[in-house]
Structure 1
Amino acid sequence: MTSQQRTRTGPEPSSRPGRIPSMVALVLLTGVGPFATDTYVAALPELRGSLHTSATVAQLTMTAFIIGVAAGQLLLGPVSDARGRRVVVIATSVAFTLLSVVCAVAPSGGVLVAARLAQGIAAGSGVAVGRAMVTDTWRGPQAAARFGTIASVTFLGPVVAPAVGGLILHQGTWRTVFAALTLFGVAMVVAVLLGLPETLPPERRQSAGAADTVARMGDLLRDWSFLKHVVVQCLATAGFFTYIGGSSFVLQTVYAVTPGTYAVIFATNAAGMAGASLLFRASVVRVGAARLRGVGVVVSTSAAVGLLAVALADPAARLPVALPWALLALVVAGMGLVLPATTALAQEAGRRAAGAAAALQGGLSFLVGALVTPLTGVLGYRTLLPMALSMAVFFLLATVLLRFTGTSQRPGLGSPQQRSDAPSWSAVERE
């Protein structure tokens, strides 16, 4: 074996960790991002008045957090490949908790924006390192099943967080919301300390230099067996975030949906996404992650194309909102299969540097989502067509990529006959 081959495949785990990470702790660690994003949405007007700032600055507190989540994954995920997972998640969990206190007492909009950016970096680190810990501990379909569990809870964040925030605001102010996030952070610190052992022993760690970290990420980006999964996820995420950023404007403007009705639509769709990820969790060992991802992409693409057909056939929006709602629900449900499957496939392909792999596939897709979120506002929302066309294009590109790249078995990961605790790559990518 050449030195280049050793770099490409990386060291194989010498043994499984002595303690298995707690799924409760992993869910708290990876789910903090969506929860902390959406909990105080309803408090933005009050926040603006309380801090005597502008609506733009109030909204920037959310934007800064989202940017921080992407940056935290890209910056700190690779660090865990060198320093170990546990020290990173303990440090960032404590940082998230302390920054929640800073947010709760922030005297100005500028301080709050800065604190939210740093808080997002801490939360993003947990997302990347939590995925890496799953990759360290489980293989193949068993890892994919854990990603499905994490995804199903994470997808419920947009449903649960605004409701929790509303209950808090009924009794307090926006500062009370961040006090509650402080308590959430304390619970996360306790869960990490008690439930997350070190999953990357010293003999499997990478070198810690910045140049070596960049080299590992570059190695993954040059590896098409890894990168193809990231590109599929980015394209699908672009279609999904076009819906996230544009559906409220389109449905309320074109179909005269009230804010309350839109909240029901959004929550119902998110619940369907969580249900699809539970289906993924239940069936991935038997069916395979690649096949389930294919189903998810076909469902989302077909629904997006159907939405485009509705936009072209009914430009005056004479049809009831139930039809576009049903199609959007299918788009979102398909993503409940696509996201955990693609996460599992990308992590398996990038197992040699699991932290860097989690950083790239999570951080890049998050950045793409942030970039396309305002797309409908730019192209227009007076009709359904701009949003529907954008979604259809992104999902069709994902479908074409899957069709022409296919899958290939990645050698050197073992098989059920070789390792009882390591299901084969072919089982993960079974078509």
Structure 2
Amino acid sequence: MKARLALLLGGLSAFGPLSIDMYLPAFPEIEAALHTRQAQVQLTLTAFMVGLALGQAVFGPLSDAYGRRMPLLAGLTGYAAASLACAIAPSVFTLVGLRFAQGVSAAAGVVIARAAVRDIFTGPAMARFFSMLMLVSGLAPILAPLAGAQILRWTTWPGVFVVLAYFGVALLIASAICLRETLPPDKRRPFEVGRILRTYGRVATDRTFVAHATSIGFVTAAMFAYIAGSPFVLQNLHGLTPQAYSLVFGANAVGLMVFTQVNRIFLTWFSPRALLTVGLVLSVLAGAGVLYAAVEKLGLPYLLPPMFLVVASLGMVLPNATALALADHGSRAGTASALLGLIQFLIGGLAAPLVGLGGSGSSVPMAVVIAGMSAAGLVSFALIRPTRRRPGRYAALREAETVKFGPVPPPRRRL
């Protein structure tokens, strides 16, 4: 049952990378077909990211008020419809608007998947399950560009959006059949704007939540800096072919998946907090390695290993920081999950423009942003977290295996 749930929720979590990466190979074709410019085609990507961020702020509170299933099914229906509409967009500006709608709808899957995990699991079991989700959703950055390229061999760019629509319909059917409601009526909270804003305020002023949310945001920004800068650095400056670059990109994505599973195994012996600290330190060391290789103008043997660790370290940061951020917000998991995603994308979205400001003639701008964001992730975690825990703080994370799949075991003696 856990494997089936991980497959379904992992598919919902993969909406973002699938919808972004699958149509990247079609950019030149879209530019020619819609008689537009490269910058306007890239605006369709920005519109999706903005919609994905803002949509989480809407669907999170909705799922706290009406349960997880109905908002999720509504979002999946909207995603499938928006994807089909993208396939028949007559102009690039229409496509921009439809991509925004697609992003808002996709946010339902992303935010509700996290909230559902918080409904079902507590303790290290929650961090382990987030690691399982990353194993599934981590396939998307590897497979999506390859799938998009293969689709374009047989059809034109609208075919990519038709495939995304089919993906949305498949998840809609699977969710309707397999996903039970995880938030009982007695734990729901009325959908009132004033109350929602107050809830956001309470979550946003919880230092424990903010410490873990900002650490996620900064290390995600380091990865976005790698994504934005590595095509130019590795291909233009180091002479990799597009095929060789895709292999490097895929290898780094595999590293992320491997680290998530190592993290899941290590949670048997170590706490999520300890493994999160290890992941943040690895990210800082990797960022420093990238910066050193860039400043000293060293070759690929010195640049690629720390790049690999920049991406792979997220496998120890994201599942543990997410579990710790949501641990004390069970009754408002949807709202907390929404704010977590919003912070992640707001901070992460800074990376690409900062890399671009330095131009594409050097690897130093990319390396500076990666190193700076990695360091900021560790510093924010160390400085923002409370120095003294309130009563009950991290209580859920001291329970080893409390899972709502069966009888709840008696609580263990606190250490």
Q: TM-score, normalised by structure 2?
A: 0.91
Q: Name the residue aligned to 2:300.
A: 321
Q: In the aligned structure 2, how far is the partner of 1:271 from the partner of 1:418?
A: 28
8 Å CA contact retained: 1:243, 1:387: yes
- 2:333 aligned with 1:350: no
Distance 1:294 1:28, change over 3 A: same
Q: Does structure 2 retain, via aligned residues, the 8 Å contact 1:20–1:197?
A: no
> Is contact 1:250-1:381 (8 Å) kept?
yes
Q: What residue is the counterpart of 1:382 in the other structure?
A: 361
Change (3 A) 1:268 1:413: closer
Instruction: State the distance in 2 between where 1:329 and 1:423 align.
Output: 42
User: CA contact under 8 A between 1:415 and 1:424: conserved in structure 2?
Assistant: no
**For the Cα contact (< 8 Å) 1:254–1:382, is it kept in 2?**
yes
* Change in CA separation of 1:92 and 1:418 when aligned onto 2, cut-off 3 Å: closer
Corresponding residue number in structure 2 for 1:140: 123
- The 3 A distance-change label for structure 1 pair 364 and 416 is closer
Which residue of the partner structure matches residue 408 of structure 2? 421
The equivalent residue for 1:291 is: 274
Corresponding position: 1:373 with 2:352: yes
2:97 equivalent in structure 1:
114
Matched, 1:277 2:260: yes
Deviation at 1:75, TM superposition (A): 1.8
Cα distance per residue 1:259-296 (max 9 Å; x no partner): 22222211111111111112222332432211111111
Match of 2:288 in 1: 305
* Distance in 1 between residues matched to 2:412 and 2:377, nearest whole Å: 22
Question: Any conservation in 2 of the 1:415–1:423 contact (CA below 8 Å)?
Answer: no
**Residue 397 of structure 1 aligns with which residue?**
376
Q: 1:57–1:174: structure 2 CA closer, same or farther, 3 Å change rule?
A: same
2: CA distance between counterparts of 1:352 and 1:121? 24
Residues 285 and 210 of structure 1: CA distance in aligned 2, closer, same or farther (over 3 Å): farther
SS at match of 1:95: helix
Tell me the distance in 2 between the aligned counterparts of 1:254 and 1:411. Answer: 47
Could you tell me which runs of 5 or more consecutive residues in structure 2 were left unpaired when the two chains were aligned.
none
Match of 1:175 in 2: 158
Q: Tell me what 1:11 maps to.
A: none
Distance 1:21 1:221, change over 3 A: farther
Q: Is the 8 A contact 1:416 1:422 kept in 2?
A: no
8 Å contact from structure 1 (residues 73, 124) kept in 2: yes
CA distance in 2, matches of 1:418, 1:305: 37
- Structure 1: stretches of 5+ with no match in the other structure: 1-18
* Stretches (4+) displaced over 6 A: 417-420, 422-427
Q: How far apart are the structure 1 equivalents of 2:185 and 2:193?
A: 18
Determine if contact 1:142/1:423 at 8 Å carries over to the other structure.
no
Q: Tell whether the 8 Å contact from 1:77 to 1:356 is kept in structure 2 after alignment.
A: yes
Q: Which residue of 2 aligns with 1:339?
A: 318
Identity rate of aligned residues, in percent?
Answer: 36
| Conservation of the 8 A alpha-carbon contact between 2:48 and 2:99 | yes
In structure 1, what is the equivalent of residue 197 of structure 2? 214
* TM value normalised by structure 1: 0.88
Alignment of 1:74-93 (within 5 A): 74-93=57-76
SS at 2:269 equivalent = helix
What's the CA shift for 1:193?
0.2
Is the aligned partner of 1:62 residue 2:62?
no
Match of residue 175 from structure 2? 192
Cα gap change, 1:190 to 1:136, in 2 (>3 Å):
same
Cα pair distance change 1:297/1:415, threshold 3 Å: closer
Match of 2:238 in 1: 255
2:206 to 223, 227, 239: 223
- Superposed CA RMSD in Å reads 2.6
Q: Is contact 2:124-2:401 (8 Å) kept? A: no
